[in-house]
Amino acid sequence: MQAGKPILYSYFRSSCSWRVRIALALKSIDYETVPVNLVKDGGQQFSEEFQALNPMKQVPALKIDGITIGQSNLSVLQQMGQENRLTWAQKVINSGFNALEQVLQNTAGKYCVGDEVSMADLCLVPQVANAERYKVDLTPYPTIRHINKSLLALEAFQVSHPCRQPDTPPELRA
């Protein structure tokens, strides 16, 4: 009995969804994307249909062989007031990048851990994109910038990029 194609319930801009897309691309796993707009209609993740799939009401949700796996971090940002989001995001990202830049001095090769793509790399690229989105100055993080550039040259990171997703608004497409 052949299992159906995995289904990724995703939002183009979700960094968590992006990490899953990268992993699927690296493993050459063909999957179907079902866009879940986190903004439209008050957030499609709150619909009864999606809540039945993922009671956490978050993306991504990956359905494989009838089992749904979910995770997200947008809910934290939504708890911040609009006026505090930029400052809070910059503070949190800078704090993490300060520590990561130091760690990478001991672990980095071409990528975060040597010369093979690891889970750390799947997390790095979407977080650098978040940093750029929230106007974080990346100058103090030369190792992070170099690794990010190397990773973005890989096909798996290109095809999974938010600007290339089926639900990406036309003005944000590459």
pLDDT per residue as tens digits for the range 94-126: 999 999 999 999 999 999 999 999 999 999 999
Q: How far apart are CA 25 and CA 51, in angstroms?
A: 27
Percent of the chain with pLDDT over 90: 77
In sequence order, what are the beta bridge partners of 32? 7
Instruction: Answer yes or no: is 1 within a domain.
Output: no
Among the candidates 74, 108, 126, a domain finishes at: 74
- Strand ranges for the chain from DSSP E: 7-10, 32-35, 61-64, 67-70
Angstrom distances, CA of residue 56 to CA of 14, 51, 52 = 15, 7, 9
Full-model pTM: 0.78
Instruction: Answer yes or no: is 57 within a domain.
Output: yes
For CA atoms 93, 73, 41, 129, the dihedral sign is positive
Asked whether residue 63 falls in the same domain as residue 88, the answer is no
pLDDT of residue 94: 96
Which stretch of 11-25, 68-82, 108-122 has the lowest confidence by average pLDDT?
Answer: 68-82
pLDDT at 75 over 80: no
pLDDT of residue 1: 37
Contacts of 129 (CB under 8 A, 6+ apart): 15, 18, 162
Domain count, the chain: 2
Region 69-91: mean pLDDT is: 76
CATH number of the domain enclosing 116: 1.20.1050.10
Instruction: Answer yes or no: is 171 within a domain.
Output: no
Q: Which residue has the higher pLDDT, 126 or 73?
A: 126
Instruction: Answer yes or no: is 139 within a domain.
Output: yes
- Using 50, 70 and 90 to split pLDDT, how confident is the model at 2? very low
Question: Which residues constitute the domain of residue 101?
Answer: 76-158
Q: How far apart are CA 52 and CA 63, in angstroms?
A: 13
Angstrom distances, CA of residue 49 to CA of 43, 68, 69, 124 = 12, 14, 16, 32
In sequence order, what are the beta bridge partners of 9? 34, 61
